[in-house]
């Protein structure tokens, strides 16, 4: 069983966003595997960087769609996205500095945040964005 699995209940009915969310699930799973397999801090840091890079791209795409659709929840989404990114960057900085990082906490945080964010916030934009998305 995968660390985090896509379920239909996570669909926001916007194909591009669903596809990007699925990719995030994969990257979070990759991070978990790197930790579980005892990869070096360098290998784990690469997995975190990959997650951060893709997350930045995804958040940019998602926020642009919201902006174009005039979605009223955009500011709240941006704040949530910043909070997630800041927390993952904090984990990465601690890892890079050789400070204690409970690596399973990183995986659990990212998995929980993503699934809860999709269910609580992203699904709210479904009605607005699904009809206008290409």
Query: Residue for token digits 């799973």?
Result: 29
pLDDT for 127 beyond 70: yes
Residue 132: predicted pLDDT: 60
| Model confidence band, residue 100 (pLDDT cutoffs 50, 70, 90) | low
Question: How many whole angstroms separate alpha carbon 63 and alpha carbon 103?
Answer: 29
Does residue 1 fall inside a structural domain?
Answer: no
The secondary structure of the chain in percent helix, strand, coil, rounded to multiples of 5, reads 75, 0, 25
Q: Report the CATH number at residue 100.
A: 1.20.120.50
Whole-number mean pLDDT of the chain?
A: 90
CA 115 to chain centre: 9
Q: What is the pLDDT of residues 103-115, one digit of tens each?
A: 778 888 999 999 9
Domain count, the chain: 1
124 phi and psi angles, rounded to 5 deg? -70, -30
DSSP string covering 24-48, please?
HHHHHHHHHHHHHTT--HHHHHHHH
Query: Could you list the residue range(s) of the whole structural domain that residue 77 is in?
Result: 8-129
């Amino acid at each position: 069983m995968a660390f985090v699995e896509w379920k239909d209940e996570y669909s926001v009915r916007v194909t591009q966003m669903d596809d990007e969310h699925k990719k995030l699930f994969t990257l979070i799973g990759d991070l978990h595997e790197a930790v579980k397999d005892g990869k070096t801090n360098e290998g784990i840091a690469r997995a975190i960087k990959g997650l951060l890079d893709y997350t930045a791209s995804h958040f940019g795409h998602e926020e642009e769609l919201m902006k174009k659709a005039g979605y009223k929840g955009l500011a709240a989404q941006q704040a949530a996205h910043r909070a997630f990114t800041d927390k993952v960057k904090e984990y990465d900085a601690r890892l890079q500095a050789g400070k204690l990082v409970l690596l399973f906490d990183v995986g659990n945080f990212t998995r929980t945040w993503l699934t809860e964010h999709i269910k609580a916030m992203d699904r709210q934009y479904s009605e607005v964005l699904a009809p206008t998305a290409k």
